[in-house]
């Protein structure tokens, strides 16, 4: 991603526009992500739009979730169930 787009996203954070824009839920991680930012192409705001293959994107997303979950279990096994259940599903 170019520095120009990164700056636009930071500007959207600072001026509050990203807090009020439309969002989508990122599957598996259950995170709300803004889908538009003035001056930034959609494919940078919605990750799967940047991938040529939806199957490859899904495989990568699942792999990332597995890595996250494994790392979390290894390092933070002593946290409450609420925190454990907040991770990827």
Q: What is the DSSP string of 30-74?
A: TEEEE--BTTB-HHHHSGGGG-S-HHHHHHHHHHHHHHHHHHHHH
* Domain presence at residue 74: yes
Indicate the number of domains in the chain: 1
- pLDDT of 16 reads 96
Q: In the predicted model, is pLDDT for residue 65 greater than 90?
A: yes
* Domain presence at residue 27: yes
Any idea which of 11-20, 39-48, 71-80 has the lowest mean pLDDT? 71-80
Confidence of residue 74 (pLDDT cuts 50, 70, 90): confident
* Domain presence at residue 17: yes
Any idea which of 10-14, 32-36, 40-44, 74-78 has the lowest mean pLDDT? 74-78
* Domain presence at residue 19: yes
CA distance 20 to 16: 7
Which structural domain, as residue segments, surrounds residue 66? Answer: 3-84
């Amino acid at each position: 991603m170019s520095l120009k787009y990164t700056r636009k996203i930071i500007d959207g954070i600072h001026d509050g526009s990203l807090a009020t824009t439309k969002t989508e839920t990122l599957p598996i991680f259950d995170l709300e992500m803004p889908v538009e930012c003035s001056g930034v192409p959609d494919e940078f705001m919605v990750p799967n739009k940047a991938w040529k293959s939806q199957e490859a994107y899904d495989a990568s997303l699942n792999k990332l979730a597995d890595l996250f979950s494994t790392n979390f279990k290894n390092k933070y096994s002593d946290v409450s169930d609420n925190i454990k259940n907040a991770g990827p599903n």
